[in-house]
Amino acid sequence: MKYKSYIENRQADGDGGEAYAIITGGGAPNLGEARLIREAIGSATEVLDDENAAKCAVLYEPWDETATYEEGDRRRFNDTLYKCLQAHTAQAAWTPEAAPALWAKVLIPDPEVIPEWEQPGSTNPYMIGDKVRHNGKTWVSTIDNNVWEPTVYGWEVVE
């Protein structure tokens, strides 16, 4: 490859030069092109539903304590994808984990993997067809906006 030494240096620096070269078909990164690619990724991720967004969470920018967020924005935080529930300007203490009024965890991050049930809030309920593991069994939600424990209401055991 014509820019092999450049890419090797970028790999050593850890700044993604090889990934850029693959995306663009080779060549040294151009800041203008990199910005266009980032903008295109951002636009593409805006149209995804939660299930598909979770499949490609790496495309979402990390949460930033200095940013301003709009309702529906998605960000990564501690390897988890979150959706913004209401517009706000972030503060250091308002992380997605610490501010459930501002952020909802995308609970079914990979539809191929059945996660352990965790208590959702009213802002991130399970939907019809979502599967979870609970008390040694696999359960499927029979209702939308399901915030109940599988043994209580809105779930059926599946084998």
- Give the class (CATH, top level) of 114-159: mainly beta
Identify the residue whose tokens are 């850890």. Answer: 14
Digit-coded pLDDT (tens) for 106-152? 876 666 788 899 898 777 888 899 899 999 999 999 999 999 999 99
pTM of the predicted model over 0.75: no
When computed from its CA atoms, the radius of gyration of the chain, rounded to whole angstroms, is: 20
DSSP letter assigned to residue 39: H
Looking at residue 66, its pLDDT comes to: 96
Cα(26)–Cα(17) distance, integer angstroms: 10
Q: Where are the domains of the chain?
A: 1-47, 49-106, 114-159
Q: To which CATH superfamily is domain 49-106 assigned?
A: Carbohydrate-binding module superfamily 5/12 (2.10.10.20)
- Per residue in 15-62, pLDDT tens? 544 454 555 566 666 888 888 888 888 888 888 888 788 888 889 999
Transcribe 87-99 into DSSP letters: -EE--TT--TTT-
pLDDT surpassing 70 at residue 9: no
| 3-class state of residue 105 by DSSP | strand
Tell me the pLDDT tens digit for each residue of 58-99.
899 999 999 999 999 999 999 899 999 999 999 999 999 999
Contact 132, 139 (CB under 8 A): yes
pLDDT score of 24: 53
pLDDT of residue 99: 92
